[in-house]
Structures are given as C-alpha cells and as structure tokens.
Amino acid sequence: MRSASFQFCARQRRVLPAGRAFFALGLTGLALLSTAGAAKPSSAASSLVWPAPPEAPRIAHQQNFTRPADLGVKRAALGRFANWITGSDKGNEPLVKPFAVALDENDNLCLTDTGAGVVCFLDRAKKKWFRWEKIDRVRFSSPVSIVRHQGTFFVADSGLPAVVAFDEKGKLQFLATNKLERPVALAVSAGRLLVADSQRHCIVVLDMNGRYLTEFGHRGSGPGELNFPTHLAVDAAGDLYVTDSMNGRVQRWSSSHQFKNQIGSYGNRPGYFSRPKGVAADTLGHLYVIDAMFDNVQIFDREGRLLLTLGQAGSQPGEFWLPNGIAISRQNEIFVADTYNHRVQVFKYIGQP
C-alpha cells in the first residue's frame, strides 16, 4: 500500500517544523563539506534541496539511475563484460527491483536486484559494470544484502539461505550456511562479518572466511532484544546499527556487541517508524533510516534526535515507492534503492552554504 496518506512526510523543498528545529539545533556550526567526487546534478533535479528556503539547505538531489548507461558506462564495455560473465549481452538491462546498495573502501557501488535475481558492481573510476546471476554453480535466489571488503564480495541470499563470497572474476570463495536460517543483512566490523538472521532474531558473527564464531541477540522487545532484524550498518566509530523491524526501531550496539540505545519506535509522527528498512551513517555521525511505509528517509543524530525528513511517496526525483537499501560514501553521497520505482536515487549532504 502506498503511503501518500501519511502527511507528516517532508515534502520536497519543504520540511516540517519539528524536523527543521532539530536540524538547526543539531548542525549549527558545521563546516561545508568538500564536493569533490560528487556526481553532477541534472538540470531537472538540481533545484531539489531539503529543507526548504529560507532554511540553509543540507541535502541536495544529485541524480537517478535505472541502468548502467545512466552512470556513463559505455555500451562497448557493457557488452564485453556481460558476455564474459553471463554469456549474454545483458550489461545495460534496466534495474527491476534494486534492493540493497553498498559502497566499498574506494566508494565503488555494489547493489542487489531481487527482481532480476542478480548482483551488480560499478567500478566508478574505470566506469566498468559487472553483473552476476550465479557464482560457479550457485545461482542467486533472493540476494538481499551485499558488502565488498578488500576485493571480496559477500552476498546474503535469504532464499538459498547462505552467505556467498566471491571475487571480481566471479570465483567462489566460500558458501556459508552454518547457523543461518534466513540471512538478510551484512556488515563488516573489526575484521568480522556480521550477519542479521531474521528467522533466528540474532546477529551471527563469522570470520572473513565464513567460519562461525559467535552470535548475539535473541527474540524479544526489550533493550538489546530483536524481532526480525533486517538491516545493518557500522559507523566510523565502530558502532553497529540494527534495524529491528517488528519492534519499529533501530538499535545501536558497541563494537563489543553491548547495547547502547535505540532510535525511534512505532508511531505515525516524525521520529517514529512504521516499516523501518535500510540504515546508514555519514561521516559526521548522522544516522539515516528508510521507512518503506512512509516512503521517506529520516535523519537522526547518534542519540536518536530527529534532524530532518527527506522524500515522500511518488515517482518524481526526490520521491520514493517502497525504498529499501541505503549507503553513504566518504564524500557523503547518499545512495537510496528506490525499489518499486526501479531505480537508485543519489543525494548529497552539502552542509553549511
């Protein structure tokens, strides 16, 4: 069901008073971020900023993309790499249901497309696009999360169910299934691979070779308890954020897996959640949380105070339809998997003018 009836969502170039007040309080005095490496905004979308004037803009819409060619990947390269990897010229096919997005150490883009059953990778410097339907004999069923660390891709496939690890040439590194019933989210922290298992309501810890080490969390609604966790993120300080979907909140844990605090709870006002999804942190410690029911992104400080809401239901730039994944680059570019609009939207935190 679309969420146009939820009127608290911030409209493009408009922000609700509560969000505006918190944002001004939380970000006053921050220096302007460098815009080096940011994608150029298209002329049609370059005027989209949040919040609206006369407030100082903090977030700007950069671009949308629905296929590799939108990112400057040339068709010759698309055909060559598609033929090499998949055996057919599928390199410039449009996105079907982009679900998860992630950025590696060099801010190269990884994404999963659950509608097509594929995993994709963009080398942003070389403008090369890779697309995998299977790794060796392992065909993706429902790839719902991806991370890339030191050249290795890790994909959580809830349909297999397993974590699949492979290199850029599509060579299988491992297939981890031990203790996993429904792996749905991945993150790398302190040389460990963290896996959210929504069926077991816990976070499974693997080493980087896929061996089981430990786990934490169990089903419940209290602090540090989980009820269908769905997304993970790690900030620059090493804290882990877990989208605790059926408890309507995001929980924050230390790098040693100790509960710290929660952000949000069930509700229909700014700062509350109905269907929380993807979560990510920028370099300044702001936390971005997608809500698929409200078709927006809510931005908080680390203590859970609401700063701003971004987006609304729709199909225009800056609007969403059941968005899911989110990732943020070192330059604070914000990539959002706008799943049912069949695209990825790119924004940027622009700081003080």
* CATH label of the domain that carries residue 237: 2.120.10.30
Q: What is the pLDDT of residue 22?
A: 41
pLDDT score at 52: 86
At residue 262's C-alpha, the angle toward residues 257 and 265, to 5°, is 145
The one-letter code for the residue type at 323 is: P
Domain count, the chain: 1
233 lies in some domain: yes
pLDDT recorded at residue 16? 35
Q: Are residues 115 and 97 in contact, defined by beta-carbon separation less than 8 angstroms?
A: yes
Domain assignment present for residue 10? The answer is: no
Can you give the pLDDT of all 353 residues of the chain as single tens digits? 443 322 333 333 333 333 333 443 344 333 222 222 333 334 344 589 999 888 999 999 999 999 999 999 975 444 445 444 554 445 689 999 999 999 999 999 999 999 999 999 999 999 999 999 999 999 999 999 999 999 999 999 999 999 999 999 999 999 999 999 999 999 999 999 999 999 999 999 999 999 999 999 999 999 999 999 999 999 999 999 999 999 999 999 999 999 999 999 999 999 999 999 999 999 999 999 999 999 999 999 988 999 999 999 999 999 999 999 999 999 999 999 999 999 999 999 998 53
Contact 220, 262 (CB under 8 A): no
Q: Is 6 part of a structural domain of the chain?
A: no
Establish if 50 belongs to a structural domain.
yes
How far apart, in whole angstroms, are the C-alpha atoms of residue 34 and residue 31? 9
The answer to whether residues 148 and 121 touch, using CB atoms and an 8 Å cutoff, is yes
Taking CA atoms, 332 is separated from 66, 72, 326, in Å, by 21, 21, 12
Sorted by sequence, the CB contacts under 8 Å of residue 28 that are 6+ apart come out as: none
**Cα–Cα distances in angstroms (integers) from residue 142 to residues 91, 119, 156, 202, 210, in the given order:** 20, 10, 8, 20, 19
Displacement of CA 239 from its chain's centroid (Å): 16
CB 331 within 8 A of CB 351: no
Hey, what's the torsion of the CAs at 282, 286, 291, 296, to 10 degrees?
-80
- pLDDT of 91 reads 66
**How far is 23 from 43, CA to CA, in rounded Å?**
27
The reported pLDDT for the residue numbered 92 is 85
Domain that holds residue 119: 17-349
Torsion of CA 13, 262, 283, 237, to 10 degrees: 180
Identify the pLDDT of residue 74: 78
pTM for this structure? 0.85
Which residue do the tokens 């225009």 mark? 316
Which regions of 133-266 does DSSP assign to beta strands (E)?
A: 134-135, 138-139, 143-149, 152-157, 162-166, 172-176, 183-189, 192-197, 202-206, 212-216, 229-234, 240-244, 249-253, 259-263
Q: Is residue 215 part of a domain?
A: yes
Is there a domain that residue 106 lies in?
A: yes
Q: Is residue 48 part of a domain?
A: yes
Q: For position 53, what pLDDT does the model report? A: 87
| Residue 99: inside a domain | yes
State the DSSP code for 177: -
Contact 62, 107 (CB under 8 A): no
Query: What pLDDT does residue 75 have?
Result: 59
